Chain A
Amino acid sequence: MTTGILLQIVQTLIAISLAPLFMGWVNQCRAWLQGRSAPPVTQPYRTLKKLFNKDAVVARNASPLFRFAPYLIFACMALAAGIVPTIANDLPFSPAADVIALVGIFALARAFQALAAMDIGTAFGTLGARREMLVSFLAEPALLMVFFNASFISHSTQLPVIVAALAHREFAIYPSMAFAAVAFWMVSTAENARIPVDNPTTHLELTMIHEAMILEYSARHLALIEWAVALKLFTYSALGIALFIPWGIAPRGDLTALPLAILVLVVKLAAGGALLSLLEAISAKLRLFRAPEFLGTAFLLAVLGMLIHFLLEV
């Protein structure tokens, strides 16, 4: 149990500290693919440091919710990062929340983000919040369906059990997971505000979704939100790794596999980040009203994966 708690703490700290680095790596890959000279990998840390050292400016009519939201969003993402197995499978936190609760935690953070965006009452904040809700209410069921694909194979909605079933049993190819993987990529672009659903680097307010919601934040609040965004991307990548390439995560009660697990995680994240930026580089941003169609496709693919599971894998 003590090793479990220790592992839990180590893993959460790794996620929190590595998340900006991962973001920097994705940005660097993207810059390379676009033929620009890339910012250093550590740029997100510098941005965070700069933001934390500034004085926060808050609008006069902001309610306490507006100040409180960044902390809550960051806490939600840190909790989510603690639930997803990244290096070890023996996590005391995990039984507290299965994948359905995980989706709920993401939803909680998103609801507060949207509320805070509407709280100030600027046009862009409200616009961003509405768009975010439009995208997310379509992304959530698709994400759940992706999880259910994995649950059918492992007969559980607990992430450690899913990982154990997929990684530590005899190797098998699951065609249903191929569908789930495509659907998962589509959902994660929507949830993490990346191309093709949203452009994280846009400066044009009319095309923003996520950025429009955080326009009014500054200094430490903005830093926390940026960090939470990086953490969310990290958590989603960890989820993708846990569901689709789980090999290398240390099994329960095996501490000797831990150093290797960390090494494997770094390699997988590096490859995953490169793949993510490649997919972003080759796709164009969708019009907002194409986003429901895009996410509908993700949902259908996940459902199709379940059908395939019953046809081929039972």
Chain B
Amino acid sequence: MPLAYHLQFINLLAALLLLIAFAMLSQRRIVGLVTLFAWQGAALSLATAIVAWSTGQHHLYYSAGLTLVLKVMVMPWFFYRLVKRLDVNREVEPMINIPTTMLIGIALVIFAFNLAMPISQMAGTVMRSTLGIAMACVLLSFLMMITRSKAITQVIGFMAMENGLFFAATSATYGMPLVVEMGVALDVMIALFVLGIMSFQIRESFDSMDLKHMESLKER
């Protein structure tokens, strides 16, 4: 029997989240990465709003709104400004080349799907099957943080990971309590600003945004 349409639509949005996560892995330019990040936020916000509408969990509306404002508007705007001010649009070669990264990504997705299967069977939500996708998004963002060398790409990876975690929470338990979510959002905002300031400091000290330079911090 086919699922109800709103569930199918949530599934589609979940698939879209994963698609965007892969697009981010393959993206070479930082501005493109920020745009993809904004789109991921938009898909996440829409999915959350539909879950809120279909299950009557009103606090999820606030979460969706918060996501929309923070992750689709404020953060991308901040990132665009940061990229412009730091003048680092082109990412130099990632540490592992992109096709290999994508292959590792596929392996991670299979791992995440298998990992999530027993958990999602225990969850009581209507959209529990999307938990695997949420896990995969988290792992893929993590992979992006590992394989990229620029500080700003790693920050975007971190934020994308938060997207994945948020989606995991929504799909497993209809989201965390609103207080927790507000706290997380605030944390992420603070992290964003701190990391933004940090990137200026990194560039001041090393004349580059490449974190490989930080491996040789020891005094000569």
Contacts and interface: CB of A to CB of B under 8 A. Distances in A.
B183 interface: no
A254 interface: no
Given A179-B19, A300-B103, A308-B18, A172 B8 contact: yes
Contacts of A96: none
B99 A296 contact: yes
B106 A173 contact: no
B158 interface: no
A289 B16 CA distance: 28
Interface residues of B, number: 27
A312 B102 CA distance: 22
Interface string B129-170: 110110000000000000000000000000000000000000
A181 B104 CA distance: 22
B110 A307 contact: yes
A205 interface: no
Contacts of A176: 15
B22 A311 contact: no
Nearest to B98: A293
Contacts of A310: 113
Contacts of A293: 26, 98-99
B118 interface: no
Contacts of A304: 18-19, 22, 106, 109
Nearest to A310: B113
Contact of A170 (B2, B15, B102, B105): B2
B106 to A, nearest CB: 6
Interface in A273-314: 292-293, 296-297, 300-301, 303-304, 307-308, 310-313
Interface string A30-71: 000000000000000000000000000000000000000000
A175 interface: yes
B191 interface: no
A293 B132 CA distance: 26
A107 interface: no
B113 A297 contact: no
B26 A303 contact: no
A300 B18 CA distance: 12
A182 interface: yes
B15 to A, nearest CB: 3
Nearest to A295: B99
Contacts of A300: 22, 102-103, 105-106
A301 B102 CA distance: 10
B9 interface: yes
B164 to A, nearest CB: 15
B106 A303 contact: yes
A178 interface: yes
B18 to A, nearest CB: 7
A193 B210 CA distance: 38
Interface string B1-29: 01101001101101110110010001000
Given A172-B2, A173-B5, A300-B103, A312 B15 contact: yes
A307 B19 CA distance: 12
A173 B9 CA distance: 7
Nearest to A303: B106
A311 B129 contact: yes
B15 A175 contact: yes
Contact of A297 (B8, B12, B26): B26
Contacts of B130: 312
Nearest to B1: A170
A312 B14 contact: yes
Interface string A218-238: 000000000000000000000
Given A296-B99, A300-B105, A312-B129, 4 more contacts: A175-B12, A308-B15, A311-B113, A311-B129
18 contacts: A172-B2, A172-B3, A173-B9, A173-B12, A175-B11, A175-B14, A175-B16, A182-B19, A292-B99, A293-B26, A293-B98, A296-B99, A297-B102, A300-B22, A300-B106, A310-B113, A312-B14, A312-B15
The 8 closest A-B CB pairs, nearest first, are A175-B15, A173-B8, A172-B2, A312-B11, A175-B12, A296-B99, A175-B11, A173-B12
